[in-house]
Chain A
Amino acid sequence: MSVLDVDRLQVEVFETGIALLRDITLSIKPGSIVGLVGESGSGKSMFSLALMGLLPSGVRVTSGKARVAGKSILKGLTNQYVNSSREDIALISQNPRAALNPTMRINKQVIRVLRQRCNMTFKEARSEVHELLARVGIPDVGRVANSYPHQLSGGMCQRVVIGMALSTRAPLLIADEPTTGLDVTIQAQILMLLRKLVGESDEKSVMMVTHDLAVVSSMCDQLIVLYGGQVMEVGPTREVFANPRHPYTKFLLESLESYADGSADSTPSVSENPIDFGLSGCRFSNRCPFSTPVCQTTPPPAIADNTRIAYCHNLESI
């Protein structure tokens, strides 16, 4: 059974009917790390907010299904969020300091999570705090437990958040740009930690939401590429990197490679037009070098090939 199953999820701005996420279909297997990648405006953060039930006001799920560990997190036609969904998903956010309560010492916050999410008594929770902090590689456990978030570095706060997220029984962890504000040496520490802790458990899965393809390539088994609120391509990371099928994925990877090896002019054929959320067809069609009239008017079909899916009208001719 999949940890996450999303079927044709649509998220719209209520007043204008503009679809911020269109027809999102994907699933995540237990014990895997999946990368959800896209540039700014791709809808990657909107998607994790939709799963968490944290969409901004005026933005709603209008159709589609989403199940976590087999349980629907959207109920009935009104698409109300089912309360239990909050116990099935844990969030590691981009800004760990904002995720922690600034007026509360770390040990108190950890105890609260353990009591609420793991049904521990106060005594059990209190004896668990130091072990939990040590598990995420915090060196000076006693001092950190007694500190307020502002007294800790960003990397240290992120460790605390990861520790709390992993202590819950939630089978799905959403890590939204978990290392974006951190220095590269601290990023390496956090990524190694995340990979080790997820590797220790067979049930937990992580959805890494990021714009950083290097992070995805070194961390994720599966890759989901988003552009303009629409899935472009899905597949195993190695296969997608070795042989991207969708024109957008090709463009993204080419810009990354030419960037890394310092070679000159990268992919000039892709125009710099901004994302047009009014397009009824493929959202990438106003930039795509292979665009045809049908791309402008009709959403692209899902073309599956073994382990991979690409959403494009013109796959054969590319």
Chain B
Amino acid sequence: MNNLLNVRDLRHTYVKGRIQTHAVRGVSFEVARGETIALVGESGCGKSSTARLIAGLETATSGSVSVAGHDIADIATDKRLRRLVQMVFQHSDQALDRSWNVERIVAEPLLRMDGLRLSAARTRTVAALNSVGLGDDFLSRRPRELSGGQSQRVAIARALISQPELVVLDEPTASLDQSVRTRVLDLLKRIQEERNVGYVFISHDLASVRRIADRVAVMYLGRIVEIGRTAEIFANPRHPYTQGLLRSEPPIDPAVKWEITPMKGETPSASAIPDGCAFRGRCPIADEACATVDPLLLPVGSTRQLACIHRSVDGPI
């Protein structure tokens, strides 16, 4: 296996009193070097939980995550390996220490993992800032002096300074204005081309996903229901959930009349998951068989996998 990231049958259950919430229910995928995979889905689909498990911020109930051949449990505890995986959070303004200046924020991974002093890290800190388009005049600034786009750039610089091989990006552009969003995504793409770093990109914004991801995994209630190449999934979604999700995006061209039948209902709670296919309550093609069979993620063609008993066979849709 030459993959950068291997995720195997990952499961995670949060327990609070008598309530068990099954956030992640058997997720498997891999990411190659220099590749971006996007995890998409509605709130409660388990995409952020999966991201936190991959970044080693939480320990999975079962299953495995390995990055560059090392188990995530080792990476999370071993200072020498920790640099392999870094994470960028949604609210960068909250993820940055408000009392530190930008230099210390960006250099922190070097201070902690390599034991460097701030002054010795200066050259690399400036280089990291430059790579995200910020000059060395930012070194002495504090988070409150940064705009939303700038603080997200600082967070990206901090994630990149330790030369990680995998970066987990949890909704990195969700709180940014449209025009700034475009620039941050282009920046991430450019950095990837230069350093061959792998990205796990979490988003509910399908337009961002289309712009940055090589492959997409669509999640519903803790499972991947469809996974494949971005262009192919957007051009020809096959799972009824993916189809409903893509259709729900309003068109950008006002000359196109937006007439759809919205997907009915809402996502059920992850602590009361229906038997059979978890999506059947909202699915337009569900029948009795869906209530009894729990669909497996099976290959359809050479580049796509699908979890639907009605669509998992090749043929016209």
| Closest A residue by C-beta to B173 | A259
Chain B interface, number of residues (Cβ within 8 angstroms): 39
* A219 to B251 alpha-carbon distance, docked (Å): 10
* A293 to B147 alpha-carbon distance, docked (Å): 27
Q: Is the CB of A184 within 8 A of B245?
A: yes
Q: Is the CB of A211 within 8 A of B250?
A: no
Instruction: Map CB proximity to B onto A249-262 as digits: 1 under 8 Å, 0 otherwise.
Output: 00110011111101
* A284 to B260 alpha-carbon distance, docked (Å): 37
Instruction: Map CB proximity to B onto A175-194 as digits: 1 under 8 Å, 0 otherwise.
Output: 00000000111111101100
**CB-defined contacts of A274 to chain B, threshold 8 Å:** 147
If A217-B251, A238-B254 touch, whether A255 touches B262 (CB-CB below 8 Å) is: no
Contact of A189 among B181, B185, B262 (CB under 8 A): B262
Instruction: Map CB proximity to B onto A229-265 as digits: 1 under 8 Å, 0 otherwise.
Output: 0000000011001100000000110011111101011
| Closest B residue by C-beta to A153 | B266
Whether a CB of chain A sits under 8 angstroms from the CB of B177 is: yes
| Closest A residue by C-beta to B244 | A185
Contact of B177 among A40, A237, A242 (CB under 8 A): A40
**CB-defined contacts of B207 to chain A, threshold 8 Å:** 214, 259-260
Whether a CB of chain A sits under 8 angstroms from the CB of B311 is: no
* A216 to B186 alpha-carbon distance, docked (Å): 25
Q: Is the CB of B250 within 8 A of A39?
A: no
Q: How far is the CB of A211 from chain B (nearest CB, A)?
A: 7
**CB-defined contacts of B206 to chain A, threshold 8 Å:** 184
Q: Is the CB of B210 within 8 A of A260?
A: yes
Contact of B42 among A185, A189, A262 (CB under 8 A): A185
The residues in B between 219 and 258 inclusive whose CB is less than 8 angstroms from any CB of A are: 244-245, 247-256, 258
Contact of A214 among B186, B204, B252, B266 (CB under 8 A): B252
If A185-B244, A185-B262, A192-B262 touch, whether A259 touches B182 (CB-CB below 8 Å) is: yes
Q: Is the CB of A241 within 8 A of B254?
A: yes
Whether a CB of chain A sits under 8 angstroms from the CB of B141 is: no
If A155-B266, A260-B207 touch, whether A214 touches B251 (CB-CB below 8 Å) is: yes
Whether a CB of chain A sits under 8 angstroms from the CB of B286 is: no
* A188 to B206 alpha-carbon distance, docked (Å): 14
Q: Is the CB of B178 within 8 A of A259?
A: yes
Whether a CB of chain A sits under 8 angstroms from the CB of B43 is: yes
Contact of B252 among A191, A260, A266 (CB under 8 A): A260
| Closest B residue by C-beta to A190 | B262
Whether a CB of chain B sits under 8 angstroms from the CB of A215 is: yes
Q: Is the CB of A218 within 8 A of B258?
A: yes
Report 23 cross-chain contacts, Cβ distance below 8 Å, ordered by A residue: A39-B177, A40-B177, A139-B265, A183-B42, A183-B43, A184-B248, A185-B42, A186-B266, A188-B248, A188-B263, A213-B178, A214-B251, A214-B252, A218-B254, A238-B254, A241-B254, A241-B255, A258-B182, A262-B211, A265-B186, A266-B179, A272-B147, A272-B180
Closest A-B pairs by Cβ, 10 of them: A218-B250, A188-B248, A183-B42, A39-B177, A218-B258, A217-B254, A188-B262, A255-B179, A189-B262, A214-B250
Additional A-B contacts beyond A185-B262, A214-B249, A237-B254 (13; CB < 8 A): A40-B148, A183-B43, A183-B204, A184-B42, A184-B248, A188-B248, A188-B260, A214-B252, A217-B251, A252-B178, A265-B186, A272-B149, A274-B147
